[in-house]
Amino acid sequence: MIIGVGMDLTDTRRIGRAIERFGDRFLQRVFTDAERARAERRSGEARIGTYAKRWAAKEACAKALGTGFAAGVFHSTIGVGNLPSGQPVLMLTGGSAARLAELTPAGTVVRMHLTMTDDAPYALAQVMIEALPADTADRSG
């Protein structure tokens, strides 16, 4: 069963301006160490696009959690990583993880789906949170 869906469209220029204006203070407040390391391996527009996609993913996740950025859900408690295949994944900590636990029905396990894309000047992310019966989750692929 679907327990949350969120989507966000971000203007990459806005993220670029925030980075120019606030620098490391903005980056450290919003992005995890791993997210910053991934983005900083790129240059120019690709760097900004990497940050903007992750910003959009955090916004989409907060919407899927049903709170927005309130009730302990902060940008810093929503991380975006990648599997070895490159597939993006969400990693929740703190209040974001607690909110997810509140949403999760008893006897189910959660699977979070994330897709991101960017085409300057826009970045888009969509998040779907799915609750699967615990006894079938290991067989669902």
**Tens digits of residue pLDDT in 80-131:** 999 999 999 999 999 999 999 999 999 999 999 999 999 999 999 999 999 9
Predicted confidence at residue 112, as pLDDT, reads 97
The domain that contains 78 carries what CATH number?
Answer: 3.90.470.20
pTM for this predicted structure: 0.92
Domains contained in the chain, number? 1
Task: Assign 139 a pLDDT band (cuts: 50, 70, 90).
Answer: low
**Domain region containing 103:** 2-139
Q: 68 in the Ramachandran plot: left (φ > 0), alpha (ψ -120 to 50) or beta?
A: left
- Residues in CB range of 12: below 8 A, 6 or more apart: 45, 48, 49, 52, 118, 120, 121, 122, 123
Query: For residues 80 and 54, is the Cβ–Cβ distance under 8 A?
Result: yes
Per-residue pLDDT, 82: 93
Closest among 120, 82, 92 to 4, alpha carbons compared: 92
> Average pLDDT for residues 15-25, to the nearest whole number?
96
Write out the H or E segment, with its range, that includes residue 73.
Answer: none
- In this predicted model, what pLDDT tens digit does every residue of 32-69 receive, in sequence order? 999 999 999 999 999 999 999 999 999 999 999 999 99
pLDDT at position 100, please?
A: 97
Check residue 134 and give its pLDDT.
87
pLDDT at position 137 = 55
